[in-house]
Amino acid sequence: MEMSQIALRCDTRYVARLMPSQKVQTNPQSINLHSHATYLITGGLGHLGLNTARWMVDKGAQHIVLVGRSDASDTARQAITQLEDNGAQVLVVKADVSSRADVVRIFEKIKAYYPPVRGIFHAAGVAEFHPLQDMTPQLIKSVLDPKVAGTWNLHEITLGMKLDFFVCISSIASVWGSEGLGHYAAASHFLDIFAHYRHSLKLPALTVNVGALADGGMHYRHQKHTVMRERVTQIGLKHYSPQALLKMLEYSLEMGVAQQVIIDIDWTTFKELYEAREHRTLLKQIKVQLPKPFKGQLGQLGEVLHQLKDASKGDRYDILLAYVQNKVARVLKLEDSQLPTPEQNLMFMGMDSLTAMELKNNFQNELGIDIPTVKFLEGTTIAALANELAQEDKKREIEFLVTRK
């Protein structure tokens, strides 16, 4: 994974803005952790938590505290044994970070058995997929609790301690939202604001907006939701390993920034999507591969081209109209009985940047016609779109292919 692909700095204001990082060094001093200090990982028995514990021990840490509400799974137990085989002492504390009493208890235990805490890695989190209409106050609370109450408890209780770092594991959902995860995006955004707040107090803090982690963890569990899976692919997000995340996190800690977005993304897809409505000055700096010019053969293209080939001039518009109606219905996931009428306006039907991109890709792949994404978001109707395709059909590749074949 190339550095430029995944590192974006957010500026120092509370509103996250995308800007290519100017400060990523190519050869940073490796971080060393103290062997006579304790490092606390909340969510420590989860996917990222266990990988972080390994990373910390590799960096010299010898006292690790892992916090979670449940008992350690078999995977977690095996990982802990490995850490111990590598010379580390590992304390597992069953606690809920959103309970102040539990967090007090964690630090009492550490004080009794371990050296002072020098670093916190706050990775406790819950993210369940819930469309907005299914949200309840309880669901929202369950997702906010670890990231809002938990963070604040850790902050207040460690105020007098000399910490080297306080890392909050936030999500890319906080930067650009995520369907079905409104509560999670809000919880993550709290972490981002919190890190800036701590910086204003001259206290160490780093919030990391994580993309999609590979090999396990909550994102993997979300993959069972088709919408989530599709959305991640559609915006160009790619999975990356926790090790890659931790490597980048090391750079971020060295730079001393308050917030860092760490994602692996296909910029061509993302830029097109993000700029579907308007050009973004900051994204100008991102170089993307332009789509290859259309060179398709009739046989490789969609069924609709075969229909057009055999149709009389008079029938061609009707074929394109029916094609657009069906494509719009499919992209917007309408019921079979809900075929849209030609006068229907795409915007009022719920077309957004993602679905606009999907429609555009359909036209490109099946007709060889490139309609700018912005067209779909301007309030165009199905009939107007079919008309536009018909104009293109007349003047360019389709006409050419059809007459040649």
Ligand X SMILES: NC(=O)c1ccc[n+]([C@@H]2O[C@H](COP(=O)([O-])OP(=O)(O)OC[C@H]3O[C@@H](n4cnc5c(N)ncnc54)[C@H](OP(=O)(O)O)[C@@H]3O)[C@@H](O)[C@H]2O)c1
DSSP 70: S
Q: How far is the CB of 69 from ligand X (least distance, A)?
A: 3
Minimum gap (Å) between residue 67 Cβ and ligand X: 5
Should residue 180 be labelled a site residue for ligand X when binding is judged by CB under 6 A?
no
Residue 2 CA: distances (Å) to CA of 5, 244, 287, 333: 5, 10, 14, 36
Among 41, 61, 110, 124, binds ligand X (CB under 6 A): 124
Query: What is the token pair recorded at 398?
Result: 């389709």
Q: By CB under 6 A, is residue 382 in contact with ligand X?
A: no
Going by C-beta distance under 8 Å and a sequence separation of 6 or more, which residues neighbour residue 379? 345, 346, 347, 348
Of the residues 31, 117, 167, 210, which one makes contact with ligand X according to CB under 6 A:
210
- Which of 169, 263, 273, 389 touches ligand X by CB under 6 A? 169
Residue 219 interacts with ligand X (CB under 6 A): yes or no: yes
Closer Cβ to ligand X, 41 or 356, answer by number: 41
CA distance 69 to 97: 8
89 three-state secondary structure: strand
- Asked if 238 and 212 touch (Cβ cutoff 8 Å), the reply is yes
Six token digits for residue 362: 């359909």
Subset of residues 89 to 108 that bind ligand X, contact rule: CB under 6 A: 96-98
Q: How far is the CB of 154 from ligand X (least distance, A)?
A: 10
Nearest to ligand X of 96, 393 (CB atom):
96
Distance of closest approach, residue 206 Cβ to ligand X, in angstroms: 14
Binding mask 128-157 for ligand X (x = CB under 6 A): -----------------xx---x-------
**Contact stretch for ligand X (CB under 6 A) within 65-73, 255-263, 348-356, 389-397:** 65-73
Using alpha carbons, list the distances in angstroms from residue 154 to 45, 62, 237, 257: 18, 21, 31, 20
Between 53 and 301, name the residue whose CB sits nearer to ligand X.
Answer: 53
Task: For residue 214, give the nearest of 194, 237, 191 by alpha carbon.
Answer: 237
What residue type is 29 in one-letter code? Q
Smallest distance, ligand X to C-beta of residue 147, A: 7
Q: Which of 59, 69, 238, 306 binds ligand X (CB under 6 A)?
A: 69
Q: 103, 156 in Cβ contact below 8 A?
A: no
Residue with tokens 């000399």: 162
Rule CB under 6 A: choose which of 62, 153, 171, 373 binds ligand X: 171
Output DSSP code: residue 294.
P
Q: Which of 213, 331, 389, 401 binds ligand X (CB under 6 A)?
A: 213
Q: Which of 110, 144, 167, 218 binds ligand X (CB under 6 A)?
A: 218
Phi, psi angles (nearest 5°) of residue 363: -65, -40
Closer residue to ligand X in complex, CB, 167/382: 167
Q: How many residues bind ligand X (CB under 6 A)?
A: 30
**Is there binding between residue 52 and ligand X (CB under 6 A)?**
no
CA distance 185 to 208: 13
Convert residues 7-46 into a mask of x (bound to ligand X by CB under 6 A) and - (unbound): -----------------------------------xx-xx
Between 195 and 308, name the residue whose CB sits nearer to ligand X: 195
Strands of the 7-9 sheet, one edge to the other: 19-20, 7-9, 259-262, 206-210, 165-171, 117-122, 38-42, 63-68, 89-94
| Whole-number Å distance between alpha carbons of 384 and 345 | 9
Q: How far is the CB of 97 from ligand X (least distance, A)?
A: 4
Minimum distance of ligand X from residue 171's CB (angstroms): 4
Whether the CB-CB separation of 68 and 52 falls below 8 Å is answered with: no
Interaction site with ligand X (CB under 6 A): 42-43, 45-49, 67-70, 96-98, 123-127, 145-146, 150, 169, 171, 210, 212-213, 217-219
